[in-house]
């Protein structure tokens, strides 16, 4: 069966073409319709004086603290002190088994007594030879021999006495005594244990000045403090307070913790601030000028932190890089990049692009105190 091709009539073509032109015209009108400004929240920034502070936890320690050790090797016979005991200067803290030292003292004592007897004999012999030589009844040789024997006896006695003194010192070293009054803060040996000479047995914190010791991060040392005082308070009882001053800053960083040790001298420490007590120290730095913005204003680009600013005339936004001073709860502090009087977007910043027209709803600016809460 043969199919017949039919062409559209001229009237139909005119109608279709007119409809297409009408639709195109409507599309162009929609594209050219003005867009409404994007609603955002904004605020006029103002400079604020920020007084930064830092709170750290440390420990109360004695100004002077040292290790005590025996001067000779031996086995500990008795121990008379424990951690927490208060000891006085000269008090015996521990003793070594001293049978060998006692025997050495007895032997050295006998040697001294023998040398003294020999010296008495040689002295008498020399006196006789001296008298005989004066009367011509002996020879010069006999006199010289007696004199030499006397000198040898004196030297022997001196050596024996020196040996006795050494033996007595060894016996004395068998007792470990406190070199100053203080509190035992560590014990590293027990009765029956063999210790080497100079091996630490006790650690004694001397009575006197007390320090609050803190391990702080190196970056805090780069800031200029407001003064050299630090407010201290007990962690267990914040009502117990004191004031301290920086006494010593370690010259090197602890490789294990990455911190620097700082010692604070406590002025008139309360009795409750005992050795080992945990304390909180609050230090304040020099005030600086900052701009406080809520977290909603924070934005980042390839260069780092930034904020959106609104031109008061054209209502268009622009992205400005900023330098952050510090971050707080609910806000961040800007050190530079914006100026007082700038209008900064605080909500809706994530949906903006450069040059976009906005409808800012002005908000109040937070203060550093509000940002800390």
| pLDDT over 70 at 240, yes or no | yes
Cα–Cα distance measured from residue 96 to residue 178, given in angstroms and rounded to the nearest whole number: 15
> Rounded mean pLDDT of 101-127?
94
pLDDT, mean of residues 222-238: 86
Within its chain, how far is the Cα of 216 from the centroid? Answer: 4
Instruction: Please compute, for residue 353, the number of CA atoms within 13 A of its CA located in the half-sphere on the CB side.
Output: 0
Question: Starting at the edge strand that comes first in sequence, how are the strands of the sheet with 47-50 ordered?
Answer: 47-50, 288-294, 331-336, 323-328
Residue 357 phi, psi dihedral angles, 5° rounding: -85, 135
Residue 304, pLDDT score: 87
Q: Which DSSP symbol is given to 357?
A: B
The predicted structure's pLDDT at residue 120: 95
Q: Which two tokens stand for residue 137?
A: 């009844």
Is the model's pLDDT at 39 over the cut of 80?
Answer: yes
CA-derived radius of gyration, the chain:
46
Q: Is 340 exposed, middle or buried (0-12, 13-18, 19+ CB in 10 A)?
A: exposed
Give me the pLDDT at residue 25, please: 44
Q: What is the pLDDT of residues 262-321, one digit of tens each?
A: 999 998 889 899 988 999 999 888 888 888 888 888 988 887 899 989 988 888 888 889
pLDDT in tens, 9-28: 444 433 344 444 344 444 44
Higher per-residue confidence, 151 vs 30: 151
Q: What are phi and psi for residue 107, nearest 5 degrees?
A: -65, -45
Per residue in 323-371, pLDDT tens? Answer: 888 888 888 888 888 888 889 998 888 888 888 888 888 876 665 554 4
DSSP-derived secondary structure letter, 35? P
Check residue 279 and give its pLDDT: 95
User: What does the pLDDT average to over 110-135?
Assistant: 93
Cα distance from N-terminal residue to C-terminal residue, the chain? 91
Cα dihedral 8→12→18→21 (10° resolution): -30
Least confident of 73-82, 153-162, 256-265, 321-330: 321-330
* Local structure of 243: helix, strand or coil: strand
- Mean pLDDT, range 243-251, rounded to an integer: 91
The H-or-E segment that residue 16 falls in is helix 10-31
85 pLDDT band (50/70/90 cuts)? very high
The mean-pLDDT minimum among 79-93, 247-261, 358-372 falls in: 358-372
Tell me which of 94-108, 163-177, 213-227 is least confident: 213-227
Which pLDDT score is estimated for 35?
A: 66
């Amino acid at each position: 069966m043969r199919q017949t091709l039919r062409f559209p009539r001229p009237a139909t073509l005119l109608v279709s073409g007119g409809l297409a032109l009408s639709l195109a015209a409507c599309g162009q009108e929609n594209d050219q319709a003005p867009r409404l400004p994007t609603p955002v929240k904004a605020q006029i920034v103002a400079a604020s004086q920020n007084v930064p502070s830092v709170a750290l936890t440390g420990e109360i320690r004695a100004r002077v603290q040292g290790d005590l050790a025996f001067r000779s090797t031996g086995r500990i016979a008795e121990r008379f002190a424990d951690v927490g005991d208060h000891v006085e200067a000269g008090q015996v803290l521990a003793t070594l088994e001293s049978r060998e030292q006692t025997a050495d003292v007895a032997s050295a004592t006998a040697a001294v007594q023998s040398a003294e007897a020999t010296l008495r004999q040689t002295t008498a012999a020399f006196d006789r030879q001296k008298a005989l030589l004066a009367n011509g009844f002996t020879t010069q040789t006999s006199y010289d021999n007696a004199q030499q024997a006397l000198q040898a006896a004196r030297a022997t006695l001196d050596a024996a006495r020196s040996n006795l003194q050494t033996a007595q010192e060894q016996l004395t070293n068998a007792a470990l005594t406190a070199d100053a009054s203080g509190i035992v803060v560590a014990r590293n040996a027990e009765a029956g244990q063999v210790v080497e000479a100079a091996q630490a047995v006790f650690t004694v914190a001397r009575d006197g000045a007390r320090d609050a010791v803190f391990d702080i991060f190196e970056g805090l040392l780069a800031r200029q403090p407001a003064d050299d005082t630090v407010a201290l308070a007990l962690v267990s009882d914040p009502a117990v307070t004191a004031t301290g001053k920086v006494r010593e800053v370690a010259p090197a960083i602890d490789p294990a913790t990455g911190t620097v040790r700082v010692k604070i001298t406590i002025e008139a420490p309360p009795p409750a601030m005992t050795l080992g007590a945990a304390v909180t120290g609050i230090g304040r730095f020099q005030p600086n000028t900052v701009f406080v913005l809520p977290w909603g204003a924070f934005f980042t680009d390839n260069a780092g932190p930034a904020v959106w600013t609104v031109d008061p005339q054209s209502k268009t936004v622009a992205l400005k890089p900023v330098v952050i001073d510090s971050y707080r709860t609910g806000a961040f502090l800007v050190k530079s990049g914006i100026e007082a009087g700038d209008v900064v977007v605080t909500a809706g910043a994530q949906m903006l692009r450069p040059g976009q027209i906005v409808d800012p709803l002005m908000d109040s600016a937070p203060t550093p105190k509000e940002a800390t809460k």
